[in-house]
Amino acid sequence: MRKRFLFAGLLIVVGLSVAVAVRAAQRPIRAEVNLVTVLASVLDPSGLPVPDLPVTAFELLEEGRPQQIEIFERETNLPLDVALMIDASLSMTKEMAFGRAAAVRFLRQLLRPGDRLAVFQFSDAVDLLVDFSADPVVLERAVHRVSAGAGTSLYDALLLGAQSLEGRPSGRRRVLVLVTDAGETTSRADFQSARRAVLRSEALIYTILIRPVKSEGGRNTAGEHALLTLAELTGGALYPADDVAELDALFARVEQELRTQYRLGYYPNPRPHPGSYRRIELRLRSIAAADSAAATDSRSPGSSGYHVRYRRGYYAGQLPE
């Protein structure tokens, strides 16, 4: 009789253990749901990337509150999803052949195993020429199919490019690269809707701005200012080109930045309200303050002229209970 009671008790204990394990397996994983990732590019006074900084060189805040950096990579190896948006409006016709050739060289240089790139053209409409692919031949053919249209639907391009990136798998870097003169004329979307889509996609915005006229008085600058704002919000950059001969060098700068990015991750404290927009601040400390052994390092990010690019905020998702 005593053995029966012991056996029954053992079955109860095993059953409870299984139930606890099942509930634990069904519980949302904090690392997948709550982790906020910040990609950062640190540039020296000449605009060149600064590699090999320690985690102690960074101070991370959300809504003004310091956050504990849980993940830190000096040169992230996360694969890239890149949406390449090529302006095919009539105002770009003269530069189109040079732009296509430079874009082909860019994608050849950029793509590494695991990376994916999509090619869009935009004029009065936005057309997907090839969806995300790792095949350089397929991508080059798509670039060569870019053909002139009428107006410039810049905000529509931002909106649709961001939406295409938002649907990509997690655990990858999302980048939207535009080659344009930014002369917005025919979009159905407005800047605010494009801005919201870009922020929700968590994509970096890089623009190579072709300026056929150097003086602002001779250009439609509304699109330029919009792209500069988005570059600053997302941690990307806007590079002006006053001559198509500069395109290769500017594409190379984009590629170099993407290959020398820091990756920082943290769990927001306190937890944000789902759907709220949260402001991020990433500061550079002097290495000397963080590590006395580096007090004489002339390349300390605390030195004058160093600059860090990073996304300035995010929309909080549904967090686990």
Per-residue HEC secondary structure of the chain comes to CHHHHHHHHHHHHHHHHHHHHHHHHHCCCHHHHCCEEEEEEEECCCCCECCCCCHHHEEEEECCEECCCCEEECCCCCCEEEEEEEECCHHHHHHHHHHHHHHHHHHHHHCCCCCEEEEEEECCCEEEEEEEECCHHHHHHHHHCCCCCCCCCHHHHHHHHHHHHHCCCCCCEEEEEEEECCCCCCCCCCHHHHHHHHHHHCCEEEEEEECCCCCHHHCCCHHHHHHHHHHHHHCCEEEEECCHHHHHHHHHHHHHHHCCCEEEEECCCCCCCCCCEEEEEEEECCHHHHCHHHCCCCCCCCCCCCEEEECCEEECCCCCC
- What's the pLDDT at 221? 79
179: confidence class by pLDDT, cuts 50, 70, 90: very high
pLDDT value at position 217? 55
- Position 294 scores a pLDDT of 41
Q: Which residues pair with 122 in a beta bridge?
A: 87, 126
Is the pTM of the predicted complex or chain greater than 0.85? no
Q: Residue 293: pLDDT above 90?
A: no
Q: What pLDDT does 224 receive?
A: 93
Q: How far apart are CA 268 and CA 246, in angstroms?
A: 41
Tens digits of residue pLDDT in 58-117:
999 999 999 999 999 999 989 999 999 999 988 788 788 888 999 999 999 999 999 999
Report residue 272 as tokens: 């944000």
pLDDT at 302 (0 to 100)? 53
Supply the mean pLDDT for the chain.
84
Query: In which order are the strands placed within the sheet that holds 277-284?
Result: 65-66, 58-62, 277-284, 313-315
| Rounded-to-integer distance, Cα 39 and Cα 42, Å | 10
Q: For 10-28, how does the pLDDT look when each residue is reduced to its tens digit (9 = 90+)?
A: 444 434 443 434 343 444 4
**Winning range, highest mean pLDDT, from 65-74, 283-292, 296-305:** 65-74
pLDDT in tens, 304-319: 578 999 999 999 985 4
Residue range 236-253: mean pLDDT, rounded: 92
| Model confidence pLDDT, tens digit, residues 152-164 | 999 999 999 999 9
pLDDT of residue 297: 41
Phi, psi of 81 (to 5 degrees): -115, 115
User: Which residue matches tokens 């600053």?
Assistant: 232
CB atoms within 10 A of CB 107: 21
| Confidence tier at 142 by pLDDT (50, 70, 90) | very high
Amino acid identity of residue 192, one-letter, is: Q
* CA–CA separation, 205 and 68 (whole Å): 27
- Name the percent of the chain lying above pLDDT 70: 80
Q: List the chain domain ranges.
A: 30-74+261-315, 80-258
Give the pLDDT score at 219. 61
- Mean of the pLDDT values across residues 209-234? 81
Q: What is the C-alpha to C-alpha distance for residues 303 and 312, in angstroms, rounded to an integer?
A: 22
For residue 301, give both structure tokens.
Answer: 């990010």
- 208 pLDDT more than 90: yes
Q: Can you identify the CATH homologous superfamily of domain 80-258?
A: von Willebrand factor, type A domain (3.40.50.410)
